[in-house]
Amino acid sequence: MYIPKYFKVTNVDEIWDFVQKNSFATIVTTEQVKPIATHLPLVLKKKGDDYYLTGHMAYGNPQWRTFETCEDVLVMFQGPHAYISSSWYSHENVPTWNYQAIHMYGKASILEKDELIEELTGMLNKYEQNRENPVLWDKLSPELLENQLKGIVGFKIKVAEIQAAYKLSQNRNETDYINIINNLQNEGNPNSKQMAGLMGKRLKNQI
């Protein structure tokens, strides 16, 4: 991913937090030079000094069959993004787009059944634990679980490289930066308001 120096993020804790909050990813592989993509939730884990992404997809999805032959899997995570009008600058310029994105590369492998059950249990715990009536693994019937396991394939990706870009108008002067935040707040859509919040937090941390 092309990342100008203004927007490059290398803080591991910040990247970890981002992926935990934006875990719905796009996973990309190739089959005979043709790209294949699947959109699905993933879980980032740390084991020793290594990081792994775990997840599962439908057995009928042909992408998992490319894991063996694909040298590298690309996984993309995206946060809020918003259009930035150049009318918000104090000088003539062109519009742009602000965003947060993280790319991870690594080798994928298929999970054994016990590993898949561990992955599913952890995912249910993550997304169900704070609900009024959580649906957890041990609350579901063995018959249902066994039937569902037959229809999915679990996988893990050992992360070999991380690229992170937060394009938040860091290359603008303070006057334009504050004006961008104010205008994003008035845009009336959730993405713009989230972007304004991120930019405001960054500004506050610099003061």
> How do residues 155-190 score in pLDDT, each as one tens digit?
999 999 999 999 999 999 999 999 999 999 999 899
pLDDT of 81 strictly over 80? yes
Alpha-carbon distance of 63 to 152, in angstroms, equals: 12
Query: Secondary structure of the chain: what % helix, strand, coil (to 5)?
Result: 35, 35, 25
Q: In angstroms, rounded to a whole number, what is the distance separating the alpha carbons of residues 189 and 8? A: 26
Q: Helix axis angle, 113-128 relative to 142-149, nearest 10°?
A: 110
Structure tokens at 30: 């190739």
Neighbours of 206 (CB within 10 A): 9
**Using CB atoms within 10 A of its CB, is residue 157 exposed (0-12), middle (13-18) or buried (19+)?**
buried
Indicate whether this model's pTM tops 0.85: yes
Please give the class, per CATH, of domain 5-174.
mainly beta
